[in-house]
Structures are given as C-alpha cells and as structure tokens.
C-alpha cells in the first residue's frame, strides 16, 4: 500500500490522522516542521504528503510546497494542504505573486471519510 507523509506540529492531529490512515492500510511517516518534512521526504520517498501550513511559522507549509515544486525528485508528489486558516474564499483564478502549487486543500477539523476519498483521488490521479 502507499506511503503517506503526515506533516504537522500538533502531535494530537498527527496521531489521529496516523490512526485513520493505518486502519485503511496505508504506511505512515511523520514530520513536525517544514525543514524536517523535506528531509524525511527525500529519505522516505512518500507517495503523498499531507501538509499543514502553520508550523514553525505561518507560511512554513507553503514554503515546503514551493520547494517541492522546484525539486525534480519531489515535484510530482501529490500534496494535500491541511489547515485551520480561516477566511479562505475561492475566487476566480488569477495567478498572484504568491502562487503556490498544491493538489488539494482541506480544512481542519477534517472529516475522516472525506480525507480518505481525497487521498484516493490524488493517488489515482498520480498513477493515471
């Protein structure tokens, strides 16, 4: 089964998510900060990354995502952004100066079923 990297500085979220994913049969590795996440990614080569935005600083997750996009080894790994940032409002696409590529976006608190569905979609999209 696929290997998923869960990145979040909140140990409760990491444990909860790990339990959900492991019950489904996924292999789980974890990291607690942006720096740690990139190191783990390069070593473990996960099939998908669940990425929190706010860790050691607000845009930590976004910086990770940007670095992944610039690294040939990592740019094709699907990224699902998980966050509690509010005020998110979808608007017509305009590439702004802060363009950050992610595959999916999910708000906390997460619905386990929806998370698993999104993960499946993202993995299938990659394989396909």
Partner 1 sequence: MTVQLKGRAEAITIQWIPKYTFMERLGHWIHTATFVPLAITGMILYFPFLQSLAQGEAGLFIRLVHRVAAVIFGLLPIVYFIFQPRRLLLNIREFLPNKDDIGWLKGAPAYYLLGKHEAMPPQGRFNAGEKMNGLVMIVAWVVFGITGVPMWFGKGVIPPEVFRWLVIFHDLAMIVSVCMFLIHLYLAVAHPLMWAGLVSMRFGVTSAEYAMEHHAKWYYGPKRAMEIWEAKKREAAQKGGH
**Burial of residue 64 (number of CB atoms within 10 Å: 0-12, 13-18, 19+):** buried
Q: What is the DSSP secondary structure assignment for residue 108, as one 8-state letter?
A: S
**Stretch of residues binding partner 1 (CB under 8 A), selected from 15-23, 24-32, 83-91, 110-118:** 83-91
Interface with partner 1, residue 128, by CB under 8 A: no
Give strand pairing partners of 30: 6
Query: Residue 42: which of 52, 31, 53 has the closest Cα?
Result: 31
Site string for partner 1, 92-111 (x = CB under 8 A): xxxxx-xxxxxxxx------
Query: Which positions from 39 through 78 interact with partner 1, judged by CB under 8 A?
Result: 54, 56-60, 62-63
At closest approach, how far in Å is the CB of 19 from partner 1? Answer: 20
Q: Closer to partner 1 at the Cβ: 25 or 98?
A: 98
Q: How far apart are CA 103 and CA 77, in angstroms?
A: 9
At closest approach, how far in Å is the CB of 67 from partner 1? Answer: 12
Give strand pairing partners of 28: 4
Size of the site for partner 1 (CB under 8 A): 31
Interface with partner 1, residue 15, by CB under 8 A: no
- Which positions ≥6 away from 38 have C-beta within 8 Å? 64, 67, 68
Question: Where does this chain bind partner 1 (CB under 8 A)?
Answer: 34, 54, 56-60, 62-63, 81, 84-96, 98-105
């Amino acid at each position: 089964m696929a290997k998923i990297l869960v990145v979040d500085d909140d140990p409760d979220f990491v444990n909860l998510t790990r339990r959900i994913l492991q019950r489904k049969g996924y292999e789980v590795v974890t990291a607690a900060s942006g720096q740690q996440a990139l190191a783990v990614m390069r070593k473990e080569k996960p099939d998908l990354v669940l990425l929190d935005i706010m860790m050691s600083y607000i845009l930590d997750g976004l910086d990770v995502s940007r670095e992944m996009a610039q690294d040939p080894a990592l740019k094709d790994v699907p990224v699902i952004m998980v966050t509690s940032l509010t005020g998110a409002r979808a608007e017509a696409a305009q590439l702004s100066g802060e363009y950050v590529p992610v595959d999916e976006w999910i708000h906390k608190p997460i619905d386990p079923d929806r998370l698993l569905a999104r993960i499946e979609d993202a993995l299938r999209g990659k394989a396909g």
